[in-house]
Amino acid sequence: MAHIKLTSLDLEFPIFGNNSRSLKHRFLNISSGGAIKKNASITTIKALDNINLEMNDGDKVGLIGHNGSGKSTLLRVIARIYEPIVGSISIDGDISSLIDFTMGLTQELSGIENIKLISKLKGLKPQKIKENINEIIEFTGLGDFIYLPIRTYSSGMQLRLAFSIATQCKPEIFLLDEVVGVGDISFIEQAQKRINAIVQNSNIIVIASHDSKILSKICNKVIWLDKGKIVLSGESDDVLDKYRQQHGNT
Amino acid sequence: MFNKKLSNASQEIIDSLIAWRVWLTLGYVDIQIQYRRSVLGPFWITISMGVMIYTMGFLYGNLFKMDMYTYFPFLATGFLTWNLISVMIIESTNSFVEASGFIKQERRPYPIYAFRIVVRNSIIFLHNLLAILPILIFTNKQFGMTHLLLLLLGIIIIILCSMSFGLVLGMLGARFRDLHQIINSIVTLIFFITPIIWQPSMLPTHRAWLAHFNPLTHIISLIRDPLSGNITKIISLQISVSICVFGIVLAFLCLARMRHRIAFWV
């Protein structure tokens, strides 16, 4: 049983100016009596503001909003990467996240080595990795490219690889950011099938995107974020219609 | 509130120890990539270190008018250990920044990225050991079971120290990005005030404290003494173990305070 619940959650993001990241400056400030308040260069940005949401089994939730509206941040909060100080968060279920797909890949390693490494990072036993590996390779559709270093891949190919690894064990909660758009049409269809399979296991998928077309294809619920606040949430068609009305036909 | 943070921190440590496969693999893969970039891989470092030790051995041995049979192994084992410790200190300040791709992708216990640095450098240490092996074979004929056990004990203490201090340095280095440069220059300075190329016995008696109060003297001798055929001094063991315990406590406290901020810093 997968379940996600966030209650009145705030997240502040420290934005470091150059001086605030410097230990040397800290010491200089102390020696100058600290009269000049240089530390004010730590600005915080309220990335998420009073978020309340609940997701249950079978939900295919889309997050829509501009760049910088808090979509990725919200995904990272659900993935427990960013810990909020205000508000409560309760999550049941294994999480697999694909938030910035190039980030988790090691460019020097071949596709097959990346599969092994990331599977190990996910905590899979060597035996299990051996079992899964052929299926993953097949799903990537990369053919012999799987033996070449990742740095020779196009971004679409890297996406195929990262997506196949992230969805390998049919996670109970799957978080996906922005990425589907990079793939070609055949991959998007393939990915859609895999996503549907995950949801059929009565689990939760959260997808962030600024492309309302992709979300309307995949999701049954949509949350519209703006400046870190939830503008509207509900059935996907309703929310996406209202979103389109405000933003033209994108 | 702080109690909860402490228990979170210990859970984090336990989780990362359970995930030993992960950090062993990460460290191993780092070495694998080095080999891929060049045929000799980490042996490039070994070669340059070997050349340095052999030339310095002859030069300083003659300058200080030392007996080569004692000075050569002293320098070689000291340099080997110093290389291990100093590189780990410097690289640790970057451990989380280096792993930011992994950190921002999926939640995993943070200490694994600090432990990875220790694994990677331990493998390089074994490479470097080969470079000074000829010296040890020529000069150290009395190496026995006691020395081997002391050597292993020393290595374990050094690894535990590096894991805990490395974790602390990693978190501070993620927050303060100039820590890497600062530590870099401090480490160079420490090289000269630590008995690595000079022996404590060369100091005039009223300056001997310079060597004895330097904790690194004792930590280095954990490997140096057994490798060069001596028995590790009790005082060195006592001081190193105390440093180690202090490091573990410090790592716990720092992890409890800073763990939840790391993702924002990297």
Does the pLDDT at position A199 exceed 80?
no
- Is A64 inside any structural domain? yes
Residue A63's domain spans which residues?
Answer: 56-247
Shortest CA gap B240–chain A (Å): 28
Residue pairs spanning A and B at CB distance below 8 A: 80
**pLDDT average, residue stretch B129-153:** 88
Q: What percent of chain A lies above the pLDDT cut of 90? A: 22
ipTM of the complex: 0.85
Angle at A185 between CA A180 and CA A187, to 5 degrees: 60
**For residue B19, which residues of chain A lie inside 8 Å, CB to CB?**
123
Q: What is the 3-state secondary structure (H, E, C) of B119-135?
A: HHHHHHHHHHHHHHHHH
Residue range A165-191, pLDDT digits in tens: 888 877 889 898 876 666 677 887 888
Look-up of token digits 């990460």: B26
Could you tell me the sign of the dihedral formed by the alpha carbons of B194, B197, B201, B207, in that order?
A: negative
- Is A110 inside any structural domain? yes
- Is A48 inside any structural domain? no
Does the pLDDT at position A11 exceed 50?
yes
Chain B residue with the nearest C-alpha to that of A76: B104
* Per-residue pLDDT, B233: 93
Q: What is the CATH classification number for the domain harbouring A195?
A: 3.40.50.300
- Identify the residue among A72, A81, A82 best suited for mutation to test binding to B, counting B beta carbons within 10 A and taking the highest: A81
User: Which residues neighbour A227 within 8 Å (Cβ) at sequence distance 6 or greater?
Assistant: A49, A69, A70
- Identify the residue among B24, B26, B106 best suited for mutation to test binding to A, counting A beta carbons within 10 A and taking the highest: B106
Does the pLDDT at position B240 exceed 90?
yes
Question: Measured between alpha carbons, how far is B263 from A83 in angstroms, rounded to an integer?
Answer: 9
Domain count, chain A: 1
pTM of the model: 0.89
User: Which residues neighbour B77 within 8 Å (Cβ) at sequence distance 6 or greater?
Assistant: B132, B136, B223, B224, B227, B228
Residue B229 main-chain phi, psi, to 5 deg: 85, 15
In which band, very low, low, confident or very high, does the pLDDT at A34 lie, cut at 50, 70 and 90?
very low
* Per-residue pLDDT, B39: 81
Residue range B142-199, pLDDT digits in tens: 788 999 999 999 999 999 999 999 999 999 999 999 999 999 999 999 999 999 988 8
Residue B44 or A41, more confident:
B44
Residue range B6-33, pLDDT digits in tens: 888 999 999 999 999 999 999 999 999 9
Cβ neighbours around A175 below 10 Å, total: 27
Does the pLDDT at position B218 exceed 70?
yes
In which band, very low, low, confident or very high, does the pLDDT at A30 lie, cut at 50, 70 and 90?
low
